[in-house]
Amino acid sequence: MIIASLLLLASFKSDLVEVVDGDLPIVITAPHGGVLPIPGADERKDTTLPQFVTVLDTRTDDLARETAKQVEKEFGKKPFVIIAKFARKYADANRPAKYGAESEAARLVHAKYHEAVRKAVDGVKSKFGKGILLDIHGQGADKETVFRGTQNLKTVTGVSDESLFGPKSFLGMIESQGIKVFPTMKDAHEKENSKFDGGYTVQMYGLGHQDGILAIQLEFGGTYRTVKAIPETAKKLAAALKSQL
């Protein structure tokens, strides 16, 4: 009986976190696009916890999947992908567990998500020495803008301006394909929007740490993640990654 319930729990956990093992130095994460409940977990309700937000980043799971598909098309190889299928109102994967999970069931799923991201980043590090992590989000503050979040460049520590913002850089390439990035390449050292300046994922797995890789949070405005726009946005992201690697 105990074994049966453990197996059941294990299967719930794996169903709630979508993981693709890659063979490129690219990791794509999407913590806020899921809609599924976590069995055994209530909706989060402790509004006194720091950064308490439960809102869904609509279709960012689809944008992450489509980006992975376009990357595979461009490179002939797969990126690593970790997507939360569980809803943010049950667990927030872009917060430390102590803020993002309020029950044991939620903590297990949160841990599952982060074990997968850690494994992907470690895999990229050991095989390629370096790599890039894109943490995909959505925001409702400005439809036309993608807010860059790097903790004001902390999660991209040690990378040259040319590699980060030059015409051949990932960010430079998405901007030149018509995606409005803030801060712009021209004023790349301008302060990031404090609401979207890079959460737990880029902080944990970015170049702020020895074992990190170049990590950028991208907060997409609605224009870039309509059902119709997603393939085009994904294609641009893949093309920009191609130029970078």
Report the 3 state secondary structure along the chain.
Answer: CHHHHHHHHHHHHHHHEEEECCCCCEEEEECCCECECCCCCCCCCCCCCCCCCCCCCCCHHHHHHHHHHHHHHHHCCCCEEEEECEECCCCCCCCCHHHHCCCHHHHHHHHHHHHHHHHHHHHHHHHHCCCEEEEEEECCCCCCEEEEECCCCHHHCCCCHHHHHCCCCHHHHHHHCCCEEECCCCCCCCCCCCCCCCCHHHHHHCCCCCCCCEEEEEEECHHHHCCCCHHHHHHHHHHHHHHHC
Options 8-16, 24-32, 39-47, 61-69: segment touching Zn ion (CB under 5 A): 24-32
- For Zn ion, the closer of residues 169 and 203 by Cβ is 203
Query: Which 32-61 positions form the footprint of Zn ion (CB under 5 A)?
Result: 32, 57
- For Zn ion, the closer of residues 21 and 43 by Cβ is 43
- For Zn ion, the closer of residues 44 and 137 by Cβ is 137
Options 17-25, 30-38, 106-114, 204-212: segment touching Zn ion (CB under 5 A): 30-38
User: What minimum distance in Å lies between the beta carbon of 87 and Zn ion?
Assistant: 12
User: What minimum distance in Å lies between the beta carbon of 137 and Zn ion?
Assistant: 3
Query: Which 96-155 positions form the footprint of Zn ion (CB under 5 A)?
Result: 137
Q: Residues interacting with Zn ion, by CB under 5 A?
A: 32, 57, 137
